[in-house]
Amino acid sequence: MSKKTAKQILPFVLLAALAIIAMFIKPAADFVPAADGPQYSNADIAWVLVSTALVFLMTPGLAFFYGGMVNRKNVISTMFGCRAPCRYCGCALGSMWFQ
């Protein structure tokens, strides 16, 4: 095993510190709509759903694009790697919806 240098560890430490600090900062806006305040617009919700569908259509194309730039034996792993963000987002959304 090679010895880890500060150059390798510093990005992780900075991101971890930023995440810990972000837990204690109060958000600038309240995301729960007030009873008399503005409600969510149907058009806004529709646009978010359409843009999400477009991203899910774009992701396999990106996988094929990256798959064409690697060796033949690495195509499948590259394609699965391109689908990983969709899995992470799906898990995050699922945990938020079913709380």
Q: What is the DSSP letter of 68?
A: T
| Total domains in the fold of the chain | 1
In a domain, 88, yes or no: yes
Please, which pLDDT band fits residue 2 given cuts at 50, 70 and 90? confident
75-97 vs 42-67: helix crossing angle, rounded to 10: 160
The closest of 79, 49, 84, 58 to 67, measured between CA atoms, is 79
Number of C-beta neighbours around residue 79 at 10 A: 17
Q: What is the mean pLDDT of residues 88-94?
A: 77
In a domain, 11, yes or no: no
- Of 10-14, 30-34, 84-88, the range with the lowest mean pLDDT is 30-34
In a domain, 92, yes or no: yes
Domain range for 57 is 42-99
In a domain, 87, yes or no: yes
pLDDT in tens, 15-48: 889 888 988 888 776 666 666 666 777 888 888 8
In a domain, 46, yes or no: yes
In a domain, 20, yes or no: no
In a domain, 29, yes or no: no
